[in-house]
Amino acid sequence: MFWEMLKGALVRQSRKMFMVAITIALGVSLTTAMLNVMLDVGDKVNRELKAYGANITVIPRAASVLRDVYGIEASSGKTGQYLQEADVGKLKTIFWANNIVAFSPLLETKATVGSDDITVVGTWFNRQLELPTGEVVETGIKELKSWWTVEGNWINDTDIKGAMVGSTLARKLNLHIGDSVEIVLPGGTQGEALTVQGIFNSGGAEDDQIFVTLPFVQQGLNLPGKIGKIEVSAITTPENELARKAAHDPKSLSLKEWETWYCTAYVSSIAYQIEEAVGDSRAKPVRQVAESEGTILQKTQLLMLLITGLSLAGSALGISNLLMANIMERSREFGLLKALGATDRDVLLLTLTEIMTTGLVGGIAGYFLGLGFAQIIGHNVFGTAVAINAMVIPWVIISVILITLVGSLPAMRMLLSLRPAAVLHGR
């Protein structure tokens, strides 16, 4: 009997129930979309902030003072003043390897072109690197320096006779794409003719430099397998008190603090782990990038949280409102049921089951609709899919049940105090 009545109500009221279901579906889709976007926005914005460049530089331990302060070039072949190119892949073996999005080794040297002294930098442009784990990653300065505007082409790592020239230098030396430039490396007398494949504008000091393949510089300086420094771009957690304390001196932490610090993606702990992995190295976090990323990330997340809160509250109130309107509208029907001998419990059970069934259908439809909305937002804004977070599902279920229940509460109270005679009489 109960199920027949339920079926009857649902079918008879199909249009109204459809409306309730649609509203619940819309509310749920909003909840799903906003929660998914909110949970993923940190990661997405963090990747965008990578445009600010490397946030960690890795330099040889011994050279860190000598070269930076006095500008002394170490004599070739001396160990300790260079890093090993073979060690670069080790970056991807640290605890936070997945957070390292791009890195590139650099070997810098003074050289002469004609009568001008210039800086030549050997590096990886876009290299497929096979890791000890067998994984293959693609990295290099093309990824690392995403803000460069390049006229012509990026050079290929195998093209040892190719060069990319900074825009300021190109203007000074009157170089154009396709031109040949003769570079004399220190110690060499014979110039090497390279073809200018691209001219880049970085807006920084690099505009006065020439970028070439790493083997070219290594061979020219007779430093096979050696590199000067590694620039690393990593996704990091915003800095806090613990991170600052650790950055100053990791040894000052208690064991528990140390564990927390080591297992959090702070820029200082990633730098520390890089030092552990790459022999004889010193990893320095670039404060300018690390600190600013933290602030901007925090603000964005808080902003999204508040917007999500508003839209959730809005959709919750909207749904409960509609439920109330729906139940009030049917007071005559419930009056009749009561007059025919239905107890309060029967009526409540019937309406609640009705609403829950509608809520379930609307909720499921809404969840998938919401996933669609989240993907639309992700693709339009960030150009990548928003990660679907399973954590959202229980939240959505809880909120649907809570909203439908709380939303129908005032209406339930009205149902209980309903006097059949008055209602059937029509007011």
Q: Which residues form the interface with another protein (CB under 8 A)? A: 16, 19, 22-23, 26-27, 29-30, 33-34, 37, 41, 45, 48-49, 51-53, 56-57, 64-65, 68-69, 147, 201-204, 244, 247-248, 284-292, 295-296, 299-300, 302-304, 306-307, 310-311, 314-315, 317-319, 321-322, 324-326, 328-329, 373, 376-377, 380-382
- Cβ atoms of 36 and 266 closer than 8 Å: no
Q: How far is the CB of 318 from another protein (least distance, A)?
A: 3
SS3 100: strand
- Cβ atoms of 210 and 183 closer than 8 Å: yes
Place of tokens 């203007």: 171
Of 220 and 366, which CB lies nearer to another protein in the complex structure? 366
Single-letter residue type at 330 = R
Of 64 and 76, which CB lies nearer to another protein in the complex structure? 64
Place of tokens 């049940």: 401
Of 139 and 300, which CB lies nearer to another protein in the complex structure? 300
Of 114 and 314, which CB lies nearer to another protein in the complex structure? 314
Q: How far apart, in Å, are the Cα atoms of 208 and each of 67, 118, 211, 377? A: 20, 8, 10, 40
Q: How far is the CB of 336 from another protein (least distance, A)?
A: 11
Angle among Cα 175, 181, 185 to the nearest 5 degrees reads 130
Q: How far is the CB of 402 from another protein (least distance, A)?
A: 17
Of 37 and 194, which CB lies nearer to another protein in the complex structure? 37
Of 37 and 210, which CB lies nearer to another protein in the complex structure? 37
Structure token digits, residue 96: 């936070």
Q: How far is the CB of 157 from another protein (least distance, A)?
A: 24
Q: From CA 319, how far away is CA 23, in angstroms rounded?
A: 6
Q: How far apart, in Å, are the Cα atoms of 219 and each of 125, 182, 215? A: 17, 16, 6
Q: How far is the CB of 319 from another protein (least distance, A)?
A: 7
Q: From CA 169, how far away is CA 209, in angstroms rounded?
A: 7
Q: From CA 85, how far away is CA 412, in angstroms rounded?
A: 73
Q: Where are the beta strands (DSSP E) in 114-219?
A: 116-123, 127-130, 136-139, 149-152, 162-166, 180-183, 192-201, 209-213
Of 27 and 122, which CB lies nearer to another protein in the complex structure? 27
Q: How far is the CB of 295 from another protein (least distance, A)?
A: 5
Of 193 and 306, which CB lies nearer to another protein in the complex structure? 306
Of 22 and 131, which CB lies nearer to another protein in the complex structure? 22
Checking phi first, is residue 129 left (phi over 0); if not, alpha (psi -120 to 50) or beta? beta
Q: From CA 56, how far away is CA 232, in angstroms rounded?
A: 5
Q: How far is the CB of 426 from another protein (least distance, A)?
A: 9
Q: How far is the CB of 108 from another protein (least distance, A)?
A: 14
Q: How far is the CB of 297 from another protein (least distance, A)?
A: 10
